[in-house]
Chain A
Amino acid sequence: DGGITQSPKYLFRKEGQNVTLSCEQNLNHDAMYWYRQDPGQGLRLIYYSQIVNDFQKGDIAEGYSVSREKKESFPLTVTSAQKNPTAFYLCASSNRRTSGSYEQYFGPGTRLTVT
């Protein structure tokens, strides 16, 4: 059945290492998003992509990178330059309706812990 998968559910890394979080969708959605969720701070947009081979920075892109080589995949790399990488990361996708709305569908998230 259709949906968004994120793997792994929990990820542990040592400080100074880059780490890549996976996000795959089979909803045939054009747009994909990465958010970071911290307690009391809601969802903050890291990067988003409205079409294959194109993406834009969100509000907190520093220390992160993405690629969008395939419609169904939007991996996020947390680099060693990200000062506070421990967080819960959510991937989402949406399809643009004729009304222009962007109702989003979310994955289960990856909890990254960097020590």
Chain B
Amino acid sequence: AQSVSQHNHHVILSEAASLELGCNYSYGGTVNLFWYVQYPGQHLQLLLKYFSGDPLVKGIKGFEAEFIKSKFSFNLRKPSVQWSDTAEYFCAVNEELAGKSTFGDGTTLTVKP
């Protein structure tokens, strides 16, 4: 069965620090990859996604992620975080055409002003 690992459960950063959240998955075939974000009191929403093509994908609010197939990874990055980035971040993986996603356990990001 597919598994998704998010290595950091809770990350605390100061504003303007750089962010990288790790995500690794187990499935060796073709995958679709997603990062979702849940801001306090808001719905879970899509941050960015990868289907195919350029392995470096850009999402909303200055976030980007890089798909490295050889490492089964899809790490999320942001060069300079803001207090408003405080949220819970989830990595999710679809085996292509599987019809369902497997989610990681989530990483809580706290940005100190």
Interface residues, chain A, CB within 8 Å of chain B? Answer: 31, 33, 35, 40-45, 48, 50, 58, 90, 92, 96-97, 99-109
Contacts and interface: CB of A to CB of B under 8 A. Distances in A.
A109 B41 CA distance: 10
Interface stretch (B12-20, B63-71, B79-87, B89-97): B89-97
Contacts of B105: 40-42
Contact of B52 (A50, A58, A92, A99): A99
Interface string B41-62: 0011110010110000000000
B74 interface: no
**Leading 5 A-B pairs by shortest Cβ distance:** A42-B105, A106-B44, A43-B103, A101-B32, A100-B97
Contacts of A48: 99-100
Nearest to A4: B43
Given A40-B105, A42-B90, A42-B105, A102 B45 contact: no
Nearest to A6: B43
Contacts of B51: 97, 99, 101
